[in-house]
Structure 1
């Protein structure tokens, strides 16, 4: 019951209010296959909304909705800042991919994607793979992130990790006056498809890397990819965060950077591959007040979307790699804008992305016949 002056919202009206920034939110259900999914299209100002499909055992539908709304908004900003002519969208499939994924479920999802007539283009994300996208593609043309056997680029973690490295190098330039990582201690949290590749890049650049993953086997595999040492395994998260780090690179799920952690973190730079790293508003301000440089997550982890977007034109690995290497220059522009405007790097990245969405999106007012 409403106790204030505003009338109580009905459930449907509440959903519209929750997704008020979004153009379209689609709830998908196929009882035969067990599919329960949500597709959120945040913006098509720059083009079709591109964003991956996350397959996760959410605690409830509310958590899934919150995640897809947040992630799809982030994709609009990520694609805009990366210079892509693509809008932002995201999908989530509710369930345990190890138990619930099936050909029928993935194909049912593909049919829902196809029903949107190209407004949304899907790809792989946490819990889905390039092989899954090959199955989805049997029902829709609007899918990327496919396997090399089917004309795709394969695992998007390759260029995501490369882009995060560019962000760390640009951040080192600003924080220390040099991009030389020799002797620096860098903590990588999360040793999945991005984290483990980032570990190898960092060791190749002379850094000592401290790795933590909730799955000790994943951390051990990351160390196994590196020859000649240079990798330390933290026994638990407390030991990992207590290590004397120069850079903290969150590469697991989002929300790891809380206000409490920001107030105690030893690192001078935060730069990693995870989405939505800041757990709550005001965390970046705490970091800035302590002199810690935060590299906006959607700026530096854009290598993956650059890779899958390149497939839409017929994948060219050299072209995609060159664009991912450009993340370093974009980071420099963000940091310069932040200094000129006296704002945080996160606010500067938002400003640049919003400017591009507004200016290029406005071109749609020019009618093209046919």
Structure 2
């Protein structure tokens, strides 16, 4: 999973929810507070036409409440489109808890959060995300049945499934651009070496790719250099590294007016959420001749594993659907070429078609 996505300027004055730039006809946004534990949470339900809203809960030390609300709004919309495009009968939602998960997370706070989830009556189903673990989900499950990814009903850490989907998506992008998904002669720059990014790097290394790696956490870079014979590049210049694929696996909004003209790879395919700073940047990528794998299409493996987990640890259905991400992306790429649209526009179209029952 990835760190918070929103890096827009902090708003200087309160803005009505309905006037918020990231409000997109969200069905419900709940602000929750618990005086005894200090819990401050935002739960955003974007769309439930396909089913209850599934989306993880992340705990992060946001700079202010407005930043937390922005993240919840953007992430919940992304989950609607992610679940729709993955063929899941689930809507999209997201929860954020404001606080440092390393120092402020307590069992009491998690139980308070679980009670807030339960008050929504099943319209929102929570799960693991940044700053949260399977053990945390077990605690939350003592207060509500509307939780996935517990030790009783989950497949454990969803990161390997996210990484598998990203790896499969990178191969699909290579096949579309170059006519072959063989990685042995390809260079991939992986930006962000958290749980998902490190697994993506490992999968690529085992497939024979040459790796460039970047992260603000030096020990992670050193690990990748040692284990994968990777070459380190500066984290803030990774997008400009000369490679066949740029795989952003850290912060969102990294594809913007400043970075897109500097891209050193003809393919962008990575795990980060909300990679486009604005929707128009999808068109900007196409105009530059860069093939972009829409983030919510390529990184859906974790959501799939949570949604399709079965008691006993059988992950065959989750793996099959995660591997199908490659086929979904090829369909998006081909349709984008045929319609002369950006891949982001096409992915949105396909998701909306399913949401509208077409």
Q: TM-score, normalised by structure 2?
A: 0.92
Q: Look up the match of 1:153.
A: 155
Check the 8 A contact 1:277/1:297 in 2, yes or no: yes
Check the 8 A contact 2:154/2:309 in 1, yes or no: yes
Check the 8 A contact 2:134/2:156 in 1, yes or no: yes
Whole-angstrom distance in 2 between the partners of 1:29 and 1:325: 40
Q: Give CA-to-partner distance per residue, 1:16-67, whole Å, 9 cap, x none.
A: 3434510000000001111000000000000000000011111111111111
2:350 is the alignment partner of 1:346? no
User: Aligned pair count?
Assistant: 344
Select which of 206, 212, 215 maps to 2:214: 212
**TM-aligned CA deviation for residue 221 of structure 1:** 3.2
Select which of 71, 95, 101 maps to 1:97: 101
Whole-angstrom distance in 2 between the partners of 1:315 and 1:306: 14
Q: Look up the match of 1:303.
A: 301
Whole-angstrom distance in 1 between the partners of 2:355 and 2:333: 20
- Shift of the 50–289 alpha-carbon distance from structure 1 to 2, 3 Å rule, reads same
How do residues 122-133 of structure 1 correspond to structure 2 at under 5 angstroms? 122-133=126-137
Check the 8 A contact 1:259/1:282 in 2, yes or no: no
Q: Look up the match of 1:262.
A: 260
Structure 2 residue matching 1:180: 3-state secondary structure: coil
2:172 is the alignment partner of 1:173? no
What is the RMSD of the two structures over their aligned residues, measured on CA atoms?
A: 1.8
Whole-angstrom distance in 2 between the partners of 1:286 and 1:340: 18
2:339 is the alignment partner of 1:335? no
2:70 is the alignment partner of 1:63? no
- Shift of the 27–314 alpha-carbon distance from structure 1 to 2, 3 Å rule, reads farther
Check the 8 A contact 2:137/2:147 in 1, yes or no: yes
- Shift of the 358–242 alpha-carbon distance from structure 1 to 2, 3 Å rule, reads closer
- Shift of the 166–41 alpha-carbon distance from structure 1 to 2, 3 Å rule, reads same
Check the 8 A contact 2:54/2:94 in 1, yes or no: yes
Check the 8 A contact 1:197/1:222 in 2, yes or no: no
What stretches of structure 2 of length at least 5 have no aligned partner? 1-13
2:284 is the alignment partner of 1:286? yes
What stretches of structure 1 of length at least 5 have no aligned partner? 1-10, 361-370
Select which of 243, 255, 263 maps to 2:241: 243
Whole-angstrom distance in 2 between the partners of 1:247 and 1:207: 10
Q: Look up the match of 2:33.
A: 29
Q: Look up the match of 1:82.
A: 86
Query: Which of 1 and 2 has higher RCO (CA within 8 Å, sep 6+)?
Result: 2
Check the 8 A contact 2:42/2:72 in 1, yes or no: yes
- Shift of the 222–138 alpha-carbon distance from structure 1 to 2, 3 Å rule, reads farther
**TM-aligned CA deviation for residue 281 of structure 1:** 3.6
- Shift of the 341–313 alpha-carbon distance from structure 1 to 2, 3 Å rule, reads farther
**TM-aligned CA deviation for residue 97 of structure 1:** 0.6
2:218 is the alignment partner of 1:232? no
Q: Give CA-to-partner distance per residue, 1:242-265, whole Å, 9 cap, x none.
A: 432111100012111222110111
Select which of 192, 195, 206 maps to 1:193: 195
Whole-angstrom distance in 2 between the partners of 1:174 and 1:135: 44
- Shift of the 255–157 alpha-carbon distance from structure 1 to 2, 3 Å rule, reads same
Structure 1 or 2, whichever has the larger Rg, is: 1
Q: Higher helix fraction: Structure 1 or Structure 2?
A: 1
Whole-angstrom distance in 2 between the partners of 1:92 and 1:222: 30
**TM-aligned CA deviation for residue 183 of structure 1:** 2.1
Q: Look up the match of 2:51.
A: 47
Whole-angstrom distance in 2 between the partners of 1:221 and 1:31: 42
Whole-angstrom distance in 1 between the partners of 2:166 and 2:286: 20
